[in-house]
Amino acid sequence: MSTLGNSTNIFWQECQVGKIDRQKLLNQKGCVVWITGLSGSGKSTLACSLSKELHSRGKLSYVLDGDNLRHGLNKDLCFKPEDRAENIRRTGEVAKLFADAGLICLASLISPYRKDRDMCRAMMNDSNFIEVFMNMPLELCEERDPKGLYKLARAGKIKGFTGIDDPYEPPLNCEMEIKQIDGVCPAPIAMAGQVVSYLKGRGFLES
């Protein structure tokens, strides 16, 4: 007797057109660029600048922004640790599909917990997961405070805010780290250029 919804009755459906075929069509290799860091560190700025730079080179990318995803796919989740983990898991699964489609997926999320980021890496071939750590000091992020969230967290109006009363676990073995140079943040186009150079050097910008 079978039970409705029993996972043992689900099978992976293969199609004639596969990842390699899609990559040849796009003349690029699918991958996930996972941008992590504190709120205000410049994750979304980098993702959008990088998307623009790739587009100018005729390369197809898509940005999965943490805030944007919470307007739809993840709107049922809050900021409890277990919901944050589910937020990252869902995003990782979607990013994996984009990479399988042959796109360069740019995932921009705080993703504060190392185990959750490692889980996303484990979903796919390790070489196709590029972790970019926006290593900006908390003081700078608070000074920027583009959404006014640090001010609210300091006033106790937001609980469990990353960097204030909830931890951020920096990557231990990320592929790229972007930080200040002599106390100055690189310009968005310069940061995007660093990532593009990495992608080009590892063959992602050709099939």
Mean of all residue pLDDT scores within the chain: 94
Confidence of residue 64 (pLDDT cuts 50, 70, 90): very high
Contact 145, 101 (CB under 8 A): no
Label each residue of the chain as H, E or C.
Answer: CCCCCCHHHCCCCCCCCCHHHHHHHHCCCCEEEEEECCCCCCHHHHHHHHHHHHHHCCCCEEEEEHHHHCCCCCCCCCCCHHHHHHHHHHHHHHHHHHHHCCCEEEEECCCCCHHHHHHHHHCCCHHHEEEEEEECCHHHHHHHCCCCHHHHHHCCCCCCCECCCECCCCCCCCCEEEECECCECCCHHHHHHHHHHHHHHCCCCCC
Percent of the chain past pLDDT 90, that is, above it, reads 89
Q: What is the pLDDT of residue 11?
A: 84
With 90 as the cut, is the pLDDT of residue 40 above it? yes
Q: Which residues pair with 107 in a beta bridge?
A: 34, 64
pLDDT in tens, 114-158: 999 999 999 998 799 999 999 999 999 999 998 999 999 999 999
In the chain, where are the structural domains located? 18-137+168-201
Active-site positions read: 111
CATH C-level class of 18-137+168-201: alpha beta
Confidence of residue 3 (pLDDT cuts 50, 70, 90): low
Q: What is the pLDDT of residue 8?
A: 76
pLDDT in tens, 166-189: 999 999 999 999 999 999 999 999
pTM for the full predicted model: 0.93
Structure tokens at 111: 């993703």
